[in-house]
Structure 1
Amino acid sequence: MYSLSRRGLLGVGAGIAAASAVAVSTSHTTTTPAAALRRTHGDDTIPFHGAHQAGIETPLTQRVAHLVFALKPDSDYVRIANMLRLLTDDAARLSRGMAPVADSEPELAVAPARLTVTFGFGRELVARTGASVPQWLGPLPSFSVDRLRTEWTGGDLLITLQCDDALTLEHAARVLTRDTRFFCEPAYAYRGFLPAHDSHAEGTTPRNLFGQVDGTVNPVPGSDDFAGVVWIDDDSWLRGGSSFVLRRIDMDLDKWDTLDRPDRERSVGRTLATGAPLGGRAEYDEPDFEARNTLGMRVIPDFAHMRRARMADRSQRIARRGHSFVDTIDGATVSGLLFGSFQRDVTAQFVPIQRSLDQVDLLNTWTTPVGSAVFAIAPGCSEGGFIGETLFD
């Protein structure tokens, strides 16, 4: 393991080597000067440093990887701090399109493509540092719809990578996983996707594998509303941070296929074509939960997902951030949703919504949560600092 001073020294050499490699590579191309200077989406970056971690309020990207780790028995206060310093240094470099010091494939780091790295801490990691453990940091209450598998539950350290380029993301995942090897063991990992960058108009709500627009009712990033829903503002080590719920939800696409379109729309409470609430015309129309049809039945049924997810108490809201996945398990294809939500307090915000959905949400017929975890999301850091430093104040 390198000391920070050695890493800094090697960083200079790595930077020179990377620049030389690029120079050699481009010297053999036949592109025109104008083509060589043209920017691509691969050049796009999102700042790593700041009051809040990146990847929470930043735009959705095409790819995501959630990497979850279990601490080794000897990973104590000092070793955890050293690991977080190392991870922060490498994540910051990768986010800028710079190869980390010990990167054996530096060419794979040059196109960041809006790469963000977000770190989350489980209950055990926080406890080992001696910092106060939030009441909500731990397993969620039991829900009747859950069929959780032990291998996809809990975890001590979460590293979430989001990016528009699969190669960049997988390279970053390998580098950061390698950084943890003396401190953690891999527990499990999820990988998901959304539509390709610029394949739809900016601001378009993505669709999940059921064909539904997914994420319409979300606080607007950068707004006071978003801050009130997401950012913790007390005097704890989490000030400027958040909480994160990660759920793996399997979706039975074959059974969903047997439903006709009207039944699908009643299950969701929205028109599939536009995402408009039933009885409305456009996606962002306010739903009329009192409207009834000519037969006297509710236009948006009591069992509709959007009705069950809309809480009367406006403080019971979350910021959703989901990606679809397709996996192969024991030779069978499994599809679903990697559900993520940020909120100040899991117990006060997420749990009431999930309890409402657990009761009569008809979508539960075709969806099954099989993985679940809760993480504390530390605040961001400035250059020279590291994610999680407030744990050690």
Structure 2
Amino acid sequence: MTSRDRLGRRAFLSGGAAAAGGAVAALGGRAAWASTRPEEQPPAPDAVGQVRTTFRGERQPGVATPPPSAAAFVALDLAGGVDRVALRRLMAVWTDDVERLMDGRPGLTDTEPELAAVPAALTVTVGYGPGVFTAAGLEDQRPTWLAPLPSFTHDRLEETWSGGDLLLQVCADDEVAVSHAVRLLVKEARAYTRVRWVQRGFRRAPGTTAPGTTMRNLMGQVDGTTNLVPGRDDALVWHGEDAPAWLAGGTSVVVRRIAMHLDTWDELDPHARDVVMGRRQSDGSPLTGTREHDEPDLEATDDLGLPVIDVAAHVRRARTDDPAERFLRRAYNYDEAPPPGQLSDSGLLFVTYQADPVRQLVPVQRRLDEADRLNQWTTAVGSAVFAVPGGARPGEVLGERLFGA
């Protein structure tokens, strides 16, 4: 960040502080009296609320870190005239503010600094869509996989939930922390971007399930039993030193909005649901096993010689013998106000991270598209792909190895 950038932001902050001071003065002695009453001492800091995640490092946070309970995914389109210099300036502003927010400190021009005091495991992850490379004149640095996913028969994609030049992924165990971070970072980018879409999701609140419990989606199914393990499967997630310098320590993220047709799913009895999935809804175990993480036996047959796991069951169609066709997933539920005449507008934000989505994710999606019983109750209505650059090392700005210092 240049000294001029910092000076402008400090001047703005000073104006906000002066206004806040006037508001306190207007309260007179009442505020001072209330703050000194012994019976109204502030409560002890909440353990969950004070969890902090490290911002700086070889990799951005928010990928291998455990998924917290709330998330917002914000896609931004670049304004006309934004170039490499402007992108570098925006990254400098975001780097400063993200580091502060993840540490439980307000951004430099934060007009609601009180909201930053509870970071609640906040992480912010930045991704670049194809338009960033065009605007910056860096098409030669754009990965071949950084493009929309191929068309799938059962997709009904809407522009409302697809595409984008920049991605902000904001996650925390507190919705206020998420909302405040989104608001601040989007405000900081308003001279360079406009909001394309915002998707918010949720999981169980911290402490409501045992650590390591697989999340359940709003169909009631365990979601993500077979997943990559950070640390063990890093080669499938992260790019190494053989990648372009800006992508070393980076990955790709795919955000797919999957509408769930719960109103008709509710009509299925438990047995029918288990047949569709190839797993028991009760405990997530495959129909050929007794525990969630038992390996499905796709060769097993019943007394009539029929497959125990249906040939079009979701678990069968999603599986592969190719160890490279795997990816790290951090899914979130969504539940919006339904349109007139419908009971629900719910679904899944299916978010995956992989070194190469064309090699790892697309083959799985094609198999599901071809013959998955679950297609009758789910429809992809949004899809976007972004490159996640490596993290900001000490003294660096996000994207510095791409846009230059």
The question of a shared fold, defined as TM-score above 0.5 by the shorter chain, is answered with yes
Q: Is 2:78 aligned against 1:71?
A: yes
**1:230-245 aligned within 5 A:** 230-233=237-240, 234-236=242-244, 237-245=246-254
Quote how far apart the aligned CAs of 1:37 are.
4.6
**1:17-32 aligned within 5 A:** 27-28=35-36, 30=38
Q: Amino acid of the residue matched to residue 220 of structure 2? A: G
Aligned pairs, how many?
386
Aligned residues of 2:13 and 2:111 also touching (Cα < 8 A)? no
Contiguous gaps of at least 5 residues in structure 2: 25-30
In structure 2, the partner of 1:340 is 351
**1:1-393 aligned within 5 A:** 3-6=4-7, 27-28=35-36, 30=38, 36-37=43-44, 39-131=46-138, 132-221=141-230, 223-225=231-233, 227-233=234-240, 234-236=242-244, 237-328=246-337, 330-331=339-340, 332=342, 333-393=344-404
Quote how far apart the aligned CAs of 1:5 are.
3.8
Quote how far apart the aligned CAs of 1:224 are.
2.8
User: Taking structure 1 as reference, are residues 88 and 329 closer, same or farther at Cα in structure 2, changes over 3 Å only?
Assistant: farther
Quote how far apart the aligned CAs of 1:206 are.
0.6
Aligned residues of 2:331 and 2:350 also touching (Cα < 8 A)? yes
Quote how far apart the aligned CAs of 1:59 are.
0.7
Aligned residues of 1:129 and 1:391 also touching (Cα < 8 A)? no
How far apart in 1 are the matches of 2:131 and 2:353?
A: 20
How far apart in 2 are the matches of 1:43 and 1:368?
A: 38
User: Taking structure 1 as reference, are residues 281 and 102 closer, same or farther at Cα in structure 2, changes over 3 Å only?
Assistant: same
Q: Amino acid of the residue matched to residue 3 of structure 1? A: R
Quote how far apart the aligned CAs of 1:266 are.
1.2
Please tell me the root mean square deviation across aligned C-alpha atoms, in Å. Answer: 2.5
Matched residue of 1:127: which SS? Answer: helix
Contiguous gaps of at least 5 residues in structure 1: none
User: What does the per-residue CA deviation read over 1:115-141, in whole Å, with 9 as the maximum and x for residues that have no partner?
Assistant: 100001000102322331111111110
TM-score by length of 1: 0.92
TM-score by length of 2: 0.90
Quote how far apart the aligned CAs of 1:6 are.
2.3
- Structure showing greater radius of gyration is 2
Matched residue of 2:361: which SS? Answer: helix
User: What does the per-residue CA deviation read over 1:217-275, in whole Å, with 9 as the maximum and x for residues that have no partner?
Assistant: 11112x232x0110012331211100111011100001101111111011111111111
In structure 1, the partner of 2:28 is none
How far apart in 1 are the matches of 2:178 and 2:108?
A: 18
Quote how far apart the aligned CAs of 1:384 are.
2.6
Percentage of identical aligned residues: 41
How far apart in 2 are the matches of 1:392 and 1:116?
A: 23
